[in-house]
Amino acid sequence: MNDRHHNGIKTTLLFAAMWAILLAIGGVVANGTGSSMFIWLFAGIGLVTTFYSYWNSDKLAIRAMAARPVSEAEAPGYYAIVRELATAARQPMPRLYISPTAQPNAFATGRNPRNAAVCCTEGILRLLEPRELRGVLGHELMHVYNRDILTSSVSAAFAGLITSVAQFLMFFGGGRDRNANPLALIATALLAPIAASLIQLAISRTREFDADEDGAQLTGDPLALASALRKIERGAEARPLTPSQPLENVSHMMIANPFRGRGGLGRLFATHPPMGERIARLERMAGY
């Protein structure tokens, strides 16, 4: 079984696990209140907020990174690489942006290829050779072509809905169910959102692996992306960004974690898989 097929199955199973958590905690609330009205209310709110963030994903991400549109005259090499890759993929040319950030990083966003935007930081444009930058841009374009913005929006909606229902459960308790175990209710209310968040982050990490593999296939040069990731990891660790809510909302879109890295159990809460594992997979693609 190839890595891509394995990642697709894993994403499906992770969504199934999140759905099972939602059904379980929703059943507890419905049993306690005697009505499923609250589940539908939370679902409606989650649907509206998710649609807004999905529809405006490009604007929100670009604003968070204080990026500006860049012309072909200003960045001819940047344009040439993206145009070549978009043409090879038979997709329209996305809008290009540059963020005035010293940390080497990049992201692509947009609800579909016709509304896509690619953003590189000034740091990554200075750091990488053209071949390495081509590997990074192939990765980022595949996030758009694979509809990963939709995937991340849906997983965020699930996690948010589970959290909202769990908070209601904490507030409401057993409701009309006098036999409800208060300790079990508290445990469910606390653990369900944590489990949902872990699954959401696992989905994000899985999509990174797919973008690495598909981007390397698009460029035909997995070692270029592997070399770029080594440089980006060192550069991001040397210049970590300061966490803020806007940046945290878009950090999963970036090619590398923009904040200070986590070790040990902290990796469970990481938006990106370990860089060493990503590089090893790319080297295997190249026959190393």
Mean pLDDT for the stretch of residues 221-248: 94
What is the per-residue pLDDT across 11-38, written as a single tens digit (0 to 9) for each?
677 767 777 777 777 666 666 655 566 6
Work out the pLDDT band at 7, boundaries 50, 70, 90: low
Q: Cα–Cα distance between 231 and 93 in angstroms, integer?
A: 27
Q: Which among 84, 122, 129, 140 is annotated as catalytic? A: 140
Residue 181 burial by Cβ neighbours in a 10 Å radius (0-12, 13-18, 19+): exposed
Look at residue 182 and tell me whether its pLDDT is greater than 90.
no
Mean pLDDT for the stretch of residues 89-114: 95
Q: Cα–Cα distance between 15 and 9 in angstroms, integer?
A: 10
Q: Cα–Cα distance between 100 and 32 in angstroms, integer?
A: 52
Contact present, 187 and 225 (Cβ < 8 Å):
no
Residue 286 to residues 137, 211, 212, 222: CA-CA distances in angstroms?
Answer: 18, 16, 13, 6
- What are the φ and ψ backbone dihedral angles of 108, each rounded to 5 degrees? -130, 145
Look at residue 1 and tell me whether its pLDDT is greater than 50.
no
Look at residue 77 and tell me whether its pLDDT is greater than 90.
yes
Q: How far apart are the first and last CA of the chain?
A: 19
Mean pLDDT for the stretch of residues 117-134: 97
Strand segments (E) across the chain: 68-69, 95-99, 106-109, 117-121
Mean pLDDT for the stretch of residues 98-115: 93
**Model confidence, pTM:** 0.81
The residues spanned by each domain of the chain are: 3-285
Residue 140 is a catalytic residue: yes
